[in-house]
Amino acid sequence: MSDTPFTFSIPNPGFIPSRVDNHITRRLSALRGQFLDQDAYARLLDREDTLLYAVNEIKRPAAAGELLMGVSIVHPGKVGKEFFMTKGHFHTVLDTAEVYYCLRGEGFMVMETPEGHPAVERLSPGRVLYVPPRWAHRSVCTSRQEDLVTFFTYPGNAGHDYGTIEQQGFCKLVLDTEKGIAIVDNPRWRK
């Protein structure tokens, strides 16, 4: 891997970085157990294992002084009343932060600490989000037509702990209700 400075671009529209080392896609089947309406989930999955999001990563060595970067694209859609979202994770090295910069779309970052303190922040083009160390994070796309596109960067040694969220979910959900978008308590949290 090169140890000299480098540049790349993120063209608009498209948002595929001009340099990509790793392309990750996650479909409905990867979020089994995460959506509240399990019947709606089963019906949708029966029809098609829909693509929920894609991530294009610019890799760096897994060292504390390094920064990984990438662009995440969450597609619009819903499972029951719940918007399409990422799996979400804590960083394995809990004391590592992350910065997100929203390039396109509308949505939220749903976050929480290991102690269960919640935070939900809105994402829209031009907005920067700082996720401090220790906060699990999940992006949610609330636009009906547009992808939610974010650039992110975080320490090379951070790693991903998906297991905790797979087991307990996030304490807050983002739902589409008759009165508009609502952030509600997850009735199945830690159950």
Binding to ligand 6PG by residue 147, rule CB under 6 A? no
**Sheet strands side by side (includes 128-131):** 22-27, 51-58, 67-74, 148-155, 98-104, 128-131
Q: DSSP alpha helices (H): ranges in 20-123?
A: 38-47
Binding to ligand 6PG by residue 154, rule CB under 6 A? yes
Nearer to ligand 6PG, 55 or 79 (CB): 55
Count, residues near ligand 6PG per rule CB under 6 A: 14
Binding to ligand 6PG by residue 134, rule CB under 6 A? no
Site string for ligand 6PG, 1-40 (x = CB under 6 A): -------------------------x--------------
Dihedral (Cα; 103, 105, 107, 109), 10-degree rounding: -20
135: partner contacted, choices ligand 6PG, Ni ion, none (Cβ within 5-8 A by kind): none
Binding to ligand 6PG by residue 90, rule CB under 6 A? no
CB atoms within 10 A of CB 135: 20
Residues pairing with 54 in the sheet: 25, 73
Question: Which residue ranges make up the site for ligand 6PG (CB under 6 A)?
Answer: 26, 55, 70, 72, 86-89, 98, 137, 139, 152, 154, 160
